Chains A and B, each alone.
Chain A
Amino acid sequence: GNSVTQMEGPVTLSEEAFLTINCTYTATGYPSLFWYVQYPGEGLQLLLKATKADDKGSNNGFEATYRKETTSFHLEKGSVQVSDSAVYFCAISGGSNYKLTFGKGTLLTVNP
């Protein structure tokens, strides 16, 4: 079955630092790839997605590129803000029902 491995963290950065959270996956076929974010006290929100190889998903300065050759979908942001503090989940979907398989999540704390 599908599986996702992501950097577990926690990750602590200073404001304006560069962020990378690694994510690799195993899957049959051609899954779609996602990053979800969970802010403190809130529900899961889709941050960005990519549906085919070499696609780049982006949102609010966050980017991730679907790399089929390395089965990776690393999340990056050039300059983090305190408001980016949250838990980030890498996920893939596949099969006929598109259920999501999640990584364990990475807690990001950004200090002023």
Chain B
Amino acid sequence: GAGVSQSPSNKVTEKGKDVELRCDPISGHTALYWYRQSLGQGLEFLIYFQGNSAPDKSGLPSDRFSAERTGGSVSTLTIQRTQQEDSAVYLCASSHSSGTSAYNEQFFGPGTRLTVL
């Protein structure tokens, strides 16, 4: 079956512009996560969705970052007024649920590589 997909795969933007990154989770997965992978910081959690709500936004680095999820499916991560330090690979992951068993495996998408010039 289809895995987690993300688009675009690469995005180059100029400092100060807004960008939107999209994630299509595996069908039926209620939990969705965004992570960021950068050379300096490694892999960091950004935000978690359960259905359409985001009970944990603790990893968003600033108020320039926001995310939404609609229909319990597609999620969009928006970065406003991009800065060079936002350059990273943004990863999306989904899982069946996050509260009903010891662990539900997170399946990762291929990521979006964002470069801010």
> Chain A: residues with CB nearer than 8 A to chain B?
32, 42-46, 49, 51-52, 89, 91, 93, 96-105
Inter-chain contact A100/B103, CB cutoff 8 Å? no
Does chain A have a CB within 8 A of B71? no
Q: Please give, as numbers and ranges, the residues of chain B lying within 8 Å of A89 by CB-CB distance.
A: 43
Given contacts A43-B110, A43-B111, contact A32 B91 (CB under 8 A): no
Separation in Å of the B16 CB from the closest CB of chain A?
30
Separation in Å of the A40 CB from the closest CB of chain B?
13
Q: Once bound together, how far apart are the Cα atoms of A98 and B48, in whole Å?
A: 9
Residue among B35, B56, B109 making CB contact with A97, cutoff 8 Å:
B56
Separation in Å of the B25 CB from the closest CB of chain A?
14
Interface size class of B (residues with CB under 8 A): 20 to 34
Q: Please give, as numbers and ranges, the residues of chain B lying within 8 Å of A93 by CB-CB distance.
A: 103
Given contacts A43-B91, A96-B98, contact A101 B42 (CB under 8 A): no
Separation in Å of the B93 CB from the closest CB of chain A?
8
Separation in Å of the B73 CB from the closest CB of chain A?
18
Separation in Å of the A76 CB from the closest CB of chain B?
21
Separation in Å of the B104 CB from the closest CB of chain A?
7
Separation in Å of the B63 CB from the closest CB of chain A?
20
Query: Which residues of chain B (84-117) have a CB below 8 Å from chain A?
Result: 91, 93, 95, 98-99, 102-111
Q: Please give, as numbers and ranges, the residues of chain A lying within 8 Å of B56 by CB-CB distance.
A: 97, 99
